[in-house]
Structure 1
Amino acid sequence: MLLSIITINYNDKLGFERTLNSVKNQSYNNFEHIIIDGGSSDGSKEYIEENSANFSYWVSEPDKGIYNAMNKGIKVAKGDYLYFLNSGDHLNDSNAINKACQHLKGEDVVYFDIQVIGENKTHVKKCPKELTFKFLHENLPAHQATFIKKELFNEFGFYDENLKIVSDWKFLILAICKQNATYKYVEETFSTYYSDGLSSLIENQALVKAEREQVLNEEFKPFMNDLKNRYVLERTIRTLRKSRTIKLLTKLGLIHEF
């Protein structure tokens, strides 16, 4: 089985080197590494040229944004599964890809947990075993720890380049919730993500919310109405649980705990 690892970069030479070294040092070698650089001016292009023997394909030219760059990688990828490891992020050890490939047995999407390194703390972002609409409408497995079958992009289309931040989320929620794509969760920490990316910046959270609401209202409006009603009920239950009267009635055994 051939795996395609796609790395996009723009003017992040130090992070780029960290990413490429983590791929270069893998014990598994049946993969192609595709580099999509957005025409960097910080020495990244020269670094790519110096190490071009390690890449199956590379290009350094201006693009129209993150998802335009990722789509360029998808178009030239030949692997059975695609994996996006963008500049700055890295695989956790030299056997990461080898261990991951043992789980790529036919499901459309295979996802792992990921280590997140922030300015003040480090934590592991855990994923659920079941990808419910409730989870996916506001979250998703990290693309740095997710493998997607190439044929999914051929069937459902590439990333929506009209969205600036949440197109990978849109692709996944449509694939899982509308197209019934199969998936598998592996409870292992696979890679490391540095939370200084575009979608993680505080100043971009309003755009993330707006783009998600746009997609949800276009694609899942009936579901969203049901979900809003559920949230109202959940808030009501939380309020009731805090009530002294409810606590007393529960203690006396006159009502069951809820």
Structure 2
Amino acid sequence: MKISIITVVFNNKETIRRAIESVLSQNYSNIEYLIIDGASTDGTIDIINNYKNKINKFISEKDEGIYDAMNKGIELATGDVVGILNSDDSYIDENSVSEIAKTFEKYNPDSVFADVIMVKEHDQKAIVRYYSAKKFKLWHFRFGHMPGHATFFAKRELFDKLGKYDTKYKISADFDLLLRFLFVNRISYKYIPKVLVRMSLGGVSTQGLSSIKQMNLELKHSLRKNRVKSNIIMIYMKYFVKIFQFALRPKS
């Protein structure tokens, strides 16, 4: 089974090397690795070119944002299964993709997801939040909850059937896609009870109060668009759960 991993990046020379080496260090052999760059000007492309012989597909051109870049990657992907690893994230160890492959091969679900740890951008050992999907239920979408997007892998054919990322959302197109796939269309899924991804705080959905406000408005719009009953009060209630995730984070 071929697994396509897509990394999208724009002007992120500080962390792109870590993301690339995280993928290249995986012990699963049948990986198609794609990097979609948004015409970076800060030296990111020079770093990527150092690994050019180990990257299956690399394009650098202007895009309409992170989700447009993800859609470009999906269009180019030829794997049986597709997942996204952002340029400031990394796999927890060399076994992460093997765990994903084993789960698909054993259970044949439409999709899988697992747990994430969130760390400080400049201290990858400083765990800020433990983002577990162990108790996730589909009705949690009504409250703006979703499994960790960085651990979500789905069969390639589903993106053609159910659609890719809706680029009118600037922060929450990942929520919208998982909502459509898992809640609206009820694709099958399997939870992997392990941390597979280390996610750096500072991404597009973790930056400041204005981003939080925009994200929640986008969540509300996505839920309404997909005819899922919710309201803004329910969406903001998810922050009570986040408090527990911060409290329950492992020390290292």
- Place the TM-score, normalised by the shorter chain, in its bin: 0.7 to 0.9
**Cα root mean square deviation, aligned:** 1.9
| Conserved 8 A contact 1:137-1:216 | no
Helix, strand or coil: the match of 2:133?
coil
- 2:80 corresponds to: 80
Question: 1: CA distance between counterparts of 2:157 and 2:20?
Answer: 26
- Aligned amino acid, residue 140 of structure 1: M
Could you say which residue in structure 1 is the equivalent of 2:194? 188
Normalising to structure 1: TM-score of the pair? 0.83
Please point out which of 98, 114, 117 is paired with 1:115: 117
Match of 1:39 in 2: 39
Distance 1:2 1:123 in 2: 31
User: How far apart, in 2, do the equivalents of 1:10 and 1:182 lie?
Assistant: 33
- Structure 2 distance, partners of 1:85, 1:175, is 19
Q: CA deviation at 1:10?
A: 0.6
Residue 205 of structure 1 and its aligned partner are, at CA, apart by 0.5
Name the counterpart of 2:245.
Answer: none
Cα shift at 1:136: 5.3
C-alpha displacement at 1:151, in angstroms?
Answer: 1.1
Contact 1:4 1:34 in 2 (8 A): yes
Q: Structure 1 stretches (4+) deviating beyond 4 angstroms?
A: none
1:154 to 149, 156, 160: 160
**Partner SS, residue 197 of structure 1:** coil
CA contact (8 A) 1:2 1:81 kept: yes
What are the equivalent positions in structure 2 for 1:101-140 lying under 5 Å apart? 101-105=101-105, 106-118=108-120, 121-135=127-141, 137-140=143-146
Which residue of 135, 160, 169 corresponds with 1:163? 169
Indicate which of 193, 198, 210 corresponds to 2:217: 210
| Aligned residue type for 1:174 | R
Structure 1 Cα separation of the partners of residues 14 and 29 of structure 2: 24
Q: Structure 1 stretch 115-124 or stretch 157-166: which is displaced more?
A: 115-124
Give ranges in structure 2 of 5+ residues lacking alignment: 238-252
Deviations 1:14-58 (A, max 9, x none): 210000011111111201100000111111112222221111100
- In structure 1, stretches of 5+ residues that fail to align are 232-258
Quick one: distance in 1 between partners of 2:153 and 2:140? 22
Q: For 2:224 and 2:180, locate their aligned partners in 1 and report how far apart those are by CA, in whole Å.
A: 13
Shift of residue 129, structure 1, vs aligned partner:
4.5
Do the aligned residues in 1 keep the contact of 2:141 with 2:179 (CA within 8 Å)? Answer: no
Deviations 1:105-127 (A, max 9, x none): 32112000011114775232111
Question: Which whole-Å CA distance do the structure 2 matches of 1:130 and 1:205 have between them?
Answer: 22
Q: Give how far 1:100 is off.
A: 2.2
The two structures have a TM-score, normalised by structure 2, of: 0.84
- How many residue pairs get matched? 227
Give, in whole Å, the separation in 2 of the partners of 1:167 and 1:113. 20
From the superposition, tell whether residues 33 and 215 of structure 1 become closer, same or farther in structure 2 (CA, over 3 Å): same
Of 224, 230, 243, which residue of structure 2 is paired with 1:224? 230
Work out whether residues 3 and 31 of structure 1, in 8 Å CA contact, stay in contact via their aligned partners in 2. Answer: yes
Q: Residue 185 of structure 2: which of 173, 179, 185 is its match?
A: 179
1:146 to partner: Cα distance:
1.4
Distance in 1 separating the partners of 2:143 and 2:77: 29
**3-state DSSP of counterpart to 2:21:** helix
Q: How does 1:17-56 map to 2 (within 5 A)?
A: 17-56=17-56
Write the deviation string for residues 184-209 of structure 1: whole angstroms up to 9, x where unpaired: 11110111001100101123001001
